[in-house]
Structure formats: structure tokens, C-alpha cells
Structure 1
Amino acid sequence: MTGKAAWPVLLYVPNLIGYARIGLALVAFWNVPHPATFLTFYTTGFLLDAADGYAARLLGQSSAFGAVLDMLTDRFSTAGLLLLIALQDLANAGLTCNTVTCALTTCFRVTVCVALLILDAVSHFWQVCAATLARATSHKAAGPGRLVKLYYRRSVLTTVCLFSEVFLLLHFTRVAGWSARVETASHMELLWIAAYYGCAIVYVLKQFISLAQIWNAAALLELSCSGCGHVSDAKRP
């Protein structure tokens, strides 16, 4: 009897790891005022993202529920980090801003954080919905977009997500003032700057990939519905 038949989906080992990631994220966000605790729990939860996929392949316990659980955990963790950055920007502005230009700059940065949060959530949601409606075996390989298919190769996906998440963590430590000690240490300054801007480049690339996911999802929906006999509003007489 295979592991998949012997266990209820909710108790698959990869899904148990997913529940642990949710718990670690909650503990991390609860301890935002304590930098070391926050970074320890958040980073541990992020690193476990690789463990659940490995466990699923090793034990033959892949499931649609697990795939959705993994994606939602990633999306909410990233969203929480972006919201923390926005809130920290607002807190910093309340302490230091005394000009209209400063206030507008802060509003712009907060708006960018919210826009990035929405783009990340919407792109993945549309990709999964389009793949489901098209009855694709996985949203990771669905659709005609070459960039999206390249992105979902395991090595590329792992690299892009790792660098993007590290950038958000480094940026949050910067706006929160946690990195001041590192930046002022001459032997660490160059390394920190290289890591920050190197990861920033990958994070910007990821936003273009998110836009490509939206295009890919739209194209996939058109392909899946092209033979279903429906006529779009634009083609109605």
C-alpha cells in the first residue's frame, strides 16, 4: 500500500511541514519587535519550503491540497513581510517627516509595497485558476508562456524565490534600522551592499515574471475556452 493511499491527505508529511511553516510565520510576526527572534523563526519557516517538496517526492505524497497549501503559505508570508515594510516606512515618517515632499515619498513607497503585494497574489491566483479550468496536471507547467515555464523549473524557481525573499528580509532590516550595525562595520559593509543590491535585481526580475504569469493565465484561459462554443462579448454582434 502506498503512502498516498494509507494516509489522509491532511496528515501527509509535506502538509504537516506546511502547518509547521504557518506556525513559524505566526510566531515570527508576533515577535517583530525582537529582531533575532523574528529573523530566526521567519527564516526557518522559509527554509522548510524546500523540505515539504522534497518530502512529497520522496514519500509519494504529492497532492493538490498540499500544492495549494504551499502556495498560500508563501503568498501570505511574503504579503506579511511587505506589509511590515510599509508599516515601518509609515512609522519612520511619523518620527522624521516634516515636509510635504517627505510625506509624498513615504506614500509612494507604501503604495509600491501594496502594489507588489497585489501583483504577487493575483499573478499566482490567476495562474492556478487558469490551470484548473484547463484541467492541467499542474499550474507550474500550464500555458504557452516560455518565461513562466522556465521560471517553474525547480532550480530556477528555488533561486529566484530565495533571492527575492532574502531581498525583502534585508530591505526590512534596513528600514527597521536593524542593519545599521552591519552597515557601519567596514569589513561587512561591502558584503551587505552586494547581497542587498544583487538580490534586488532578482526581485525586480520576479515582478516581470509575475506580469508574465498574468499574461500566461489569460492566454491559457483563451486556449482552454477556444473550443467550448462560447462567444466572447467582443465578438457578439
Structure 2
Amino acid sequence: MAPTTRSKQSTPERQNAGSSSSTSTAVKSQTLDGEKGLRVREGSRARQEDVVDPNYALGLANRSHENVYLFVPNVIGYIRVVTAAASLYIMPTHPKVCTFIYFISCILDVFDGMAARKLGQESKFGAVLDMVTDRCATACLLCFLSATYTNHSLLIMFLITLDFSSHYIHMYSSLVTGSSSHKAVTSDVSRILWYYYHNRNVLFTVCFANEVCFVCAYLAFYEKTPIHSSVLIKYLSHLLPVRQILYHTPAPLDYLLETLGNVTWAQLVFWLTAPVCALKQVINVVQFWKASKILVGVDLAERQAAREAAARAARGR
């Protein structure tokens, strides 16, 4: 049983419990180092929470000596953007080079997180940059697949819509509930999402296999060489008694081996990673549904707080 962890994310029940103590939606300014830097937002959550004033944040970003833009993980993020854009630019004409560059962008996704934790340079800007890069690169690849496989364009457009909408609504629900990160999901909210986001090996495996599946669908359109005709298989056939082995295999297995020999490497890897890709879509659906319920709970908590405030105001008159 997965342990229950608690983050800053508040549940609707806790919001209901504390909504009566804070009903005003006004924003009060406080002083931070002699300037108006923090605001106390009341009424929208179970507790009062300090949030940075936008004008103060803009001024601080303009004059601060600590340049978050040049944090090492963020620089890696910029390289990811450039490599992803380069791969998309040559996608119609150079499939192998495109695939190589695209996977460089994917692999760098691991190193920016490692650098952020190692160097103590985790930032909200970097987290959003990482998510936006992932979503845009995948969406562009799927757009190309939609134009390539026109018979499946509706399915591919649905995948694009699901990917964007589930991540957007999940990010928004994390913000309105005060979560420190969209990955800070508690097991009592969703055990599936908790395990997905809190186990880095699972997160990387699912995301990487999902990208591999889409890339192999792209390569399958260009690569038409069957596995049995590939240079590697021809070389191995001279070293191993393949023909003798196949000669003594049962008919069903012989048919299976013959069928597999007629597919391309891209098609084979596509079908091997397709179950993981399907799992990723299930996770997106769960993410969308749970985030929707959280937002509805926040709405109900705020409406209840407004009714209680109106009732107190009526009694005070």
C-alpha cells in the first residue's frame, strides 16, 4: 500500500472547514524589505497564503543579480527547445536525422531535472519551461502524424487535445489549491497519479515509451525495409542456424516468425511500446478527471463561504 504524503495541496474538505474564518476576497498588501512584495489572499483557500505581488515580481526580475534565466537546468531547457525545433524543421525530409535530434531533446529532459536538484536551482520558471517544451514537441509530432496518417487524424487530434487539456487543468488545479508543484500529488487524491509522479523511474519510462511509440509511427511511414532484409538479420543468419531452427518449429510459431520477419523495425517497436502509450493516455484521463473534481470542490467551498458571509452580514444589519 502506497504511503499517504501531504503537500501544500488542500482538499475541498479542508477548504470547507476553514472557509468560514476568512470570507473576504480582497487582497491586502504587506511590506517586504521596505517594498510591497507580498499579498495576503483571503477566502479562496482554507488558510491565508502569502503570494508575490506581480508588480514587485517584475521589478525584482529586472534588477536582481541572481539570473534565474541562466540557471543550468534552464539553459538545458533552452537547448531542448532548439533541438526539438530543429528536429521538427527537418521532419518531412530527413527522418533518421530528425529522430536522432528529437531523442536528444527527450534525453535532456532527464538531465535538467537532475541539474536542478543537484545545484539547488529548482524554479517555477524551469518547471513550466519543461512542461511547455514537452507538450509542444509532442503536439507538433502528432500534428505531423495527423497529416501523414489521414485515416487516423481524428484519433491523433484527440490525443493532442487530451494531452494539452489534462496537463493544463491539472496545473491550474495545483495552483488554486496552493500546491508547490503539479507533481506534488497526494496518494489520497489519486493513487495512480501519486505513483506516476513520485516514482522517477516510472515517470521516465512511461513518458519515454510514449514518445518512442509516436516516433516509431513517424518512422514507419518512411522505413519500408522488413526485418528479415535488414543488414543485422542477414549477418546473424550466417552465424546462427536460423533456417534449421525455423524448419523444425510448429506451424503457428513458424507463421508468427514469418509475420514478424515481414514487419519493419519501426513497426515492431511501435507495437511493443503501444501498451505503454495507451497507459499514458489513461493517466491523462485520470489526471483530467481528478483535476476537474478538485476545481469543482474549490468552487463549492468558495460558494459556501460566500453564503456564510452573506448570512453573517444579514444578521449584523
Normalised by the length of structure 2, the TM-score is: 0.61
As a proportion of its length, which structure holds more helix? 1
Partner of 1:8: 67
Cα distance, 1:216 vs structure 2: 1.4
Report the residue type matching 1:28 in the other structure.
S
Give the 3 Å change call, closer, same or farther, for CA 138–196 of structure 1 in structure 2.
same
- Which of 229, 239, 246 does residue 185 from structure 1 map onto? 229
Cα distance, 1:198 vs structure 2: 2.0
CA distance in 1, matches of 2:269, 2:216: 8
Paired residues for 1:177-216 under 5 Å: 177-178=222-223, 180-185=224-229, 187=233, 192=265, 194-216=268-290
CA distance in 2, matches of 1:113, 1:136: 31
Contact 1:148–1:216 at 8 Å: present in 2 too? Answer: no
Partner of 1:141: 184
Cα distance, 1:201 vs structure 2: 0.4
Q: Deviations over 1:87-140 (max 9, x none)?
A: 1124xxxxxxxxxxxxxxx1xx00111110010010000000000000011111
Cα distance, 1:209 vs structure 2: 0.5
RMSD across aligned positions (CA): 2.3
Cα distance, 1:219 vs structure 2: 2.5
Partner of 1:20: 79
Q: Which moved more, 1:204-213 or 1:31-40?
A: 31-40
Cα distance, 1:185 vs structure 2: 2.6
Contact 1:124–1:210 at 8 Å: present in 2 too? Answer: yes
Identity among equivalent pairs (%): 33
**Equivalent residue pairs, number:** 209
Cα distance, 1:159 vs structure 2: 0.7
SS at match of 1:23: helix
Partner of 1:82: 142
Partner of 2:101: 41
Partner of 2:35: none
Paired residues for 1:62-73 under 5 Å: 62-73=122-133
Q: Deviations over 1:14-44 (max 9, x none)?
A: 1111111111111111111112221121111
Contact 1:22–1:45 at 8 Å: present in 2 too? Answer: yes
Cα distance, 1:75 vs structure 2: 0.3
As a proportion of its length, which structure holds more strand? 2
Give the 3 Å change call, closer, same or farther, for CA 64–205 of structure 1 in structure 2.
same
Contact 1:131–1:220 at 8 Å: present in 2 too? Answer: no
Report the residue type matching 1:62 in the other structure.
E
Contact 2:116–2:122 at 8 Å: present in 1 too? Answer: yes
> In the alignment, is residue 166 of structure 1 matched against residue 226 of structure 2?
no
Cα distance, 1:196 vs structure 2: 2.1
Q: Which runs of 5+ in 1 are unaligned?
A: 91-105, 233-237
State which structure, 1 or 2, has the greater radius of gyration over its C-alpha atoms. 2
